[in-house]
Chains A and B, each alone.
Chain A
């Protein structure tokens, strides 16, 4: 078990390291950071100055070492746009705002949104999937099928706009965007919940169908256990492995999905910060945002892997045999 966790941990770290290298290659080798930050209208002199300030004139391997070294020390660079209205090219390194605290400050809002969306879709999906599996080919089964199909085909940001149109503009039930009260949370969370709802419900349904066909269910029924108990206690527990997998998968999807939803609802999370920084051409901020989101996604995947082995110890054993 411990060996399994350690191996997974090493995988996660290697993956993050690969991502760092990838961002370096795309940002430094394929693109020119000075050009990215100043735009194509900048003069050659300004570009040259930024290059010198950022150490871009050094050989590429040295830049890479500095880049990785800075990240390891938690130094993600400084933003020259955040909090500044003019561009002080010569102050780039000296007096810019460090980006990491700005990014981390946005995390709670994103967590709140993703958590609300996941909680909502998870509970509803379990109920929907179980009901569908209890009554295959009934109207409820068809309904769950239709919802699942619709939810994977749904354009998330569009769904959010439709909700705004119907519930905010026409009915005036919720604010169109912003942050603060629970009313502000409802619409973005609903928007974000739609996709995982369908996907999880689908998995719950098929996992439960498999479980309900097994002999222990017949045995439980035969000894007079109530149907609700058979479904929600006996079968659901055994169907939990695929459900945990898909939920973990959806949670990492949620973090990226939140980018669009946050933009639409002016929800001050990490996604909105990223999109804003992209349009402000604030490269250090964009990089920090990507690292934080990617690190979260990798961490979630790691935790999901650990969660499996807790639910089903056979998995750790299997993977030991393979390796």
Chain B
């Protein structure tokens, strides 16, 4: 399963690649990384329908995660990828906007990786 992670922090890539190294080895999960909203859109355009799950930070310089969410939900809907937003706790305003724009779920910062693994298990169709 291909997952696109969008975050301006480059260390996020190292973190994901290490925390999920077993799953990456067995081929269960395959991660791609974009360091800005613009990069993410470029990736989605070039790799149409490849990533089925998108994890995006909200607070990023340039295009914010919310703007990215809006564009993804508008452009890609057959079939739609699952989009989860990463927000800081207590960030109610952002959560509301994200909800309205159609975010499928939220993760809080600091990123809880075992929580993420559970989320992947519990999300049903």
**A and B from one assembly?**
no
